[in-house]
Chains A and B, each alone.
Chain A
Amino acid sequence: MASRPRTLYEKIWDAHVVEMRDDGTALVYIDRHLVHEVTSPQAFEALKVAGRPVRRPELTLAVPDHNLPTTARVDAKGAPVPIADPESAAQLAALEVNAPAFGIRYIPATAKEQGIVHVVGPEQGFSLPGTTIVCGDSHTACHGGLGALAFGIGTSEVEHVLATQTLLLQQSKPMEVRVEGLLGPGVSAKDLILHIIGRIGAAGGSGYVIEYRGAVFEAMSVEERLTVCNMSIEAGARAGLIAPDDVTFAYLKGRPMAPKDSEWDTAVAYWRTLHSDEGAVFAKSVVIDAATVEPSVTWGTSPEDVVPIGGRVPSPADFADESKRVAAQKSLDYMGLTPGTPMTEVPIENVFIGSCTNSRIEDLRAAAAVLKGRRKADNVRWAIVVPGSGLVKAMAEEEGLDRIFTDAGFEWREPGCSACLGMNPDKVPPGERCASTSNRNFVGRQGPGARTHLVSPAMAAAAAVTGRLADVREVV
Chain B
Amino acid sequence: MQPLTRVEGRAIPLGLKNVDTDIIIPAKWLKTISREGLGAGAFEALRAEPGNVIDDPAYAGSTLLIAGDNFGCGSSREHAAWALGDMGIRVVIAPSFSDIFSGNAVKNGILPVVLPQDAVDRLLEVARAGEPISVDLEHQTVTTPYQDRFTFTLDPFRRHCLLNGLDEVGLTMARGEAIGGFEASRTAAQPWLMRGTAA
Residues of A at the B interface (CB closer than 8 Å) are: 18-19, 21, 23-25, 27, 29, 31-32, 38-39, 41-42, 45-46, 50, 52, 55-56, 58-61, 66-67, 85, 87-88, 90-91, 94, 104-105, 125-126, 128, 131, 136-138, 140, 151-157, 159-160, 163-166, 168, 170, 172, 202-203, 206-207, 233-234, 236, 238, 256-260, 263-264, 266-267, 270, 302, 304, 323-324, 326-327, 330, 421-423, 440, 442-445, 448
Report Cα–Cα, A104/B70, bound state, in Å. Answer: 35
Report the interface size class on chain B. Answer: 35 or more
CB distance from B66 to the nearest CB of A (A): 13
A selection of 16 A-B contacts at a CB cut-off of 8 Å is: A39-B78, A60-B196, A61-B197, A91-B32, A94-B33, A152-B100, A153-B100, A153-B103, A154-B78, A156-B78, A166-B172, A203-B98, A257-B195, A263-B192, A326-B16, A327-B17
Q: Which of the 9-residue segments B52-60, B139-147, B174-182 touches chain A?
A: B174-182
Report B-chain residues with C-beta under 8 Å of the C-beta of A56: 183, 194, 196
A24–B155 contact, CB under 8 A? yes
Rounded to whole Å, the gap between the CB of B197 and the closest CB of chain A is 4
- Give the contacting residue for B16; candidates A24, A327, A423; CB below 8 A: A327
- Secondary structure type dominating chain B contacts: helix
Residue of B nearest to A105 (CB): B197
Contact across chains for B190 and A270 when beta carbons are under 8 A apart? yes
> In the assembled complex, which residues on chain A have CB atoms less than 8 Å from the CB atom of B128?
none
Bound Cα distance A224, B23 (Å): 29
Closest to B117 in A: A323
Asked if B192 and A168 make an inter-chain contact with CB atoms under 8 angstroms apart, the answer reads no
Residues of B within 8 A of A157 (CB): 103-104, 107
B51 at the interface (CB under 8 A from A): no
Q: Is the CB of B70 within 8 A of A138?
A: no
Neighbouring B residues of A206 by C-beta, 8 Å: 70, 96, 98-99
Is there contact, CB below 8 Å, between A23 and B157?
Answer: yes
B56 to chain A, nearest CB (A): 18
CB distance from B164 to the nearest CB of A (A): 13
Complex interface bits, B39-76 against A, C-beta within 8 A gives 1, otherwise 0:
00000110000000000000000000000111001111
Contact of A207 among B16, B22, B99 (CB under 8 A): B99
A19 touches B196 (CB 8 A): no
Please report the C-alpha to C-alpha distance between residue A422 and residue B78 in the assembled complex, in whole angstroms: 18
B197 & A24 in contact (Cβ 8 Å cutoff)? no
- The answer to whether B197 and A41 have CB atoms under 8 Å apart is no
Contacts of B16 in A (CB 8 A): 323, 326-327, 330
Known A-B contacts A153-B100, A157-B103, A168-B172; A42 and B35 likewise in contact (beta carbons under 8 Å): yes
Q: How far is the CA of A172 from the CA of B102 in the complex (A)?
A: 14
B168 contacts the other chain (CB 8 A): yes
Q: Which 9 A-B pairs have the closest CB atoms?
A: A154-B78, A152-B76, A259-B192, A154-B104, A87-B31, A41-B33, A23-B156, A203-B70, A105-B197
In the bound complex, how far is the Cα of B176 from the Cα of A164, in angstroms? 7
Q: How far is the CA of A42 from the CA of B190 in the complex (A)?
A: 33
- Residues in B with CB closer than 8 Å to A91 are 31-33
Question: Is the pair A156, B107 in contact by a Cβ cutoff of 8 Å?
Answer: yes
Cα-based distance from A448 to B23 in the complex (angstroms): 11
Nearest Cβ on chain B to A376's Cβ, whole angstroms: 26
Q: Which of A19, A59, A87, A270 is in CB contact (< 8 Å) with B194?
A: A59
**Is the pair A442, B196 in contact by a Cβ cutoff of 8 Å?**
no
Give the residues in chain B near A259, CB-CB below 8 Å: 192, 195, 199
State how many angstroms separate the Cβ of A410 from the closest Cβ of chain B: 24
Give the CA-CA distance A238 to B104 in the complex, in Å: 14
Q: Are A90 and B169 in contact (CB under 8 A)?
A: no
Q: Which one, B17, B34, B69, B74, contacts A440 given CB within 8 A?
A: B74
Q: Which residue from B22, B103, B186 sits with its C-beta under 8 Å from A443? A: B22
Determine whether the beta carbon of A42 is less than 8 Å from that of B34. Answer: yes
Write out the residue numbers on chain A whose beta carbons fall within 8 Å of the beta carbon of B137. Answer: none
Assess the B96–A203 pair: CB atoms within 8 A: yes
Q: Using a CB-CB cutoff of 8 Å, which residues 97-141 of chain B contact chain A?
A: 98-100, 103-104, 107-108
With contacts A442-B20, A442-B74 known, what are 13 further pairs, Cβ within 8 A?
Answer: A21-B157, A38-B31, A59-B197, A88-B31, A91-B32, A125-B199, A138-B74, A153-B100, A154-B81, A157-B103, A168-B172, A203-B70, A444-B45
Partner of B156, one of A24, A233, A264: A24
- Is the pair B169, A327 in contact by a Cβ cutoff of 8 Å? no
Asked if B68 and A160 make an inter-chain contact with CB atoms under 8 angstroms apart, the answer reads: no
B151 within 8 A of A: no
Q: Are A443 and B27 in contact (CB under 8 A)?
A: no
Chain B, Cβ-Cβ closest to A162: B169
- Report the minimal beta-carbon distance from B195 to chain A, rounded to whole angstroms: 7
Give the residue among A126, A138, A238, A304 with the most B Cβ atoms within 10 A.
Answer: A138
Given contacts A444-B22, A445-B22, contact A58 B198 (CB under 8 A): yes
Least CB distance, A329 to chain B, in whole angstroms? 12
Q: Do A90 and B33 touch (CB < 8 A)? A: yes
User: Which residues of the other chain, A, contact B188 by a CB distance below 8 angstroms?
Assistant: none
Q: In the complex where A263-B192, A327-B17, A444-B22 touch, is A421 in contact with B27 (Cβ < 8 A)? A: yes
The answer for the CA separation of A45 and B198 in the assembled complex, in Å, is 25
